[in-house]
Every structure is written in C-alpha cells, then in structure tokens.
C-alpha cells in the first residue's frame, strides 16, 4: 500500500474487553493516531471497532487493539466487513 493511502478496517475484539475502559482507551489511542471511526460494546461481550484513516495509522491501531489497555485481556481479533459510512471523528456508540 502506498504511503498516505487511506485504509478502513472493522474488527471484533473478544476477551475481557467490557467493563475495563476498553472503549475509552480505543478512542484515546485512535485520536492520538489521527484515526477516525466507531467503537461499541456488543451483546455477546465483545467490542466492535471500525477504523479509517492513513493506512499506517490504521495498522498501528490494529496492532494496539491486539494488546489492549491495562486491565483488559484480548483473546481474539476477528476481521469484519467494513461499513459504507464512517463518522468524521471517533465516536463511542452504545
């Protein structure tokens, strides 16, 4: 992928990722990297994350999601089809 190219990824994170500040950590990390998107809890206990932005920043964010914040435990990351519409910034949805 060429430098400066845009990328979009949608992921489902499984493990101990609810009730540990995971969504707020995701938003803070994404904003730090200049990535926009959405993060939300799913009823099955997972967290869904949609990322869009510069390809390298999105890849860096994906790498961070595989580790997670202190207090969380990431057991698996599943790639999902990306949505058609993305917000202009980074949102936590409920």
Catalytic amino acids?
A: 23, 41
Cβ atoms of 11 and 49 closer than 8 Å: yes
Task: For the chain, report the end-to-end CA distance as a whole number of angstroms.
Answer: 33
Query: Which tokens is 1 given?
Result: 């992928």
Residue 9 CA to residue 17 CA, distance in Å, equals: 19
Beta strands in 1-94 (DSSP E): 6-16, 36-41, 47-54, 73-80, 90-93
């Amino acid at each position: 992928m060429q430098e400066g190219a845009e990328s979009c990824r949608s992921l489902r994170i499984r493990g101990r990722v609810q009730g540990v500040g995971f969504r707020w950590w995701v938003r803070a990390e994404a904003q730090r990297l200049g990535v926009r998107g959405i993060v939300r809890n799913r009823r099955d206990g997972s967290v869904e994350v949609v990322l869009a932005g510069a390809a390298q920043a999105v890849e860096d964010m994906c790498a961070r999601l595989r580790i997670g914040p202190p207090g969380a435990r990431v057991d698996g990351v599943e790639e999902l089809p990306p949505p058609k519409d993305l917000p202009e910034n980074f949102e936590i949805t409920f």
